[in-house]
Amino acid sequence: MKRQFLALLLGLLMCVGFMAGCTSGEEAKGPSFVKFTLEEGEIIMELYPDIAPKTVKHILETIKSGYYEGKVFHRTIPGLIQGGSADGFGVGGSGRTVVGEFTENGFENNLKHERGVVSMARSNDPNSASAQFFIMTDTQTYLDGKYATFGKVVEGIEIADAIAAMPTRGAMNDELVTKPVILKAEILKDYAPPAAS
């Protein structure tokens, strides 16, 4: 009887430990740093799971899948550049979507659309964000509360500035003529951001 009880207790502890391990790895707990390498240079972002946990988890999974490699930045409008579409022209994503973690969709997210902030692009459906994202090159307050901000550029904002200054075309004059290619997207281990000056 005692042996059966010990076996049951050990099994229960293993089960609890397994479940705890799964839960802890489900969403990032602290800041994560990711790097997007383009021919134009490198953009390093800090992601904020405390602000948008589901979005950060989704982006990290999308990076791990290799989805972003070969994708482009296809669009620029005043204050931002956008990339990550499936077709290179602003249509499609990774085939998976994430709930919109922004104020108008019932989530508290106070990270403003200021220079360097990274946010999820989406359609009119508030829960349609997939892989497209945009990087703010200037403050645009009209976006606040309407899109899920989830990170900020810590190195390479000048690359985003250079992309924003590239020639555009199209009916809305927002399509980049030359579309910078994401050569590699990776999660950085043991990265320390530069000290604030």
Query: Residues in the chain, how many?
Result: 197
The predicted-structure confidence for 67-109, as pLDDT tens digits, reads as follows 999 999 999 999 999 999 999 888 888 889 999 999 999 999 9
Cα–Cα dist 122/100, whole Å: 9
The predicted-structure confidence for 128-158, as pLDDT tens digits, reads as follows 999 999 999 999 999 999 999 999 999 999 9
Cα–Cα dist 185/42, whole Å: 10
User: Per-residue pLDDT for 43 more than 50?
Assistant: yes
**Whole-prediction pTM:** 0.84
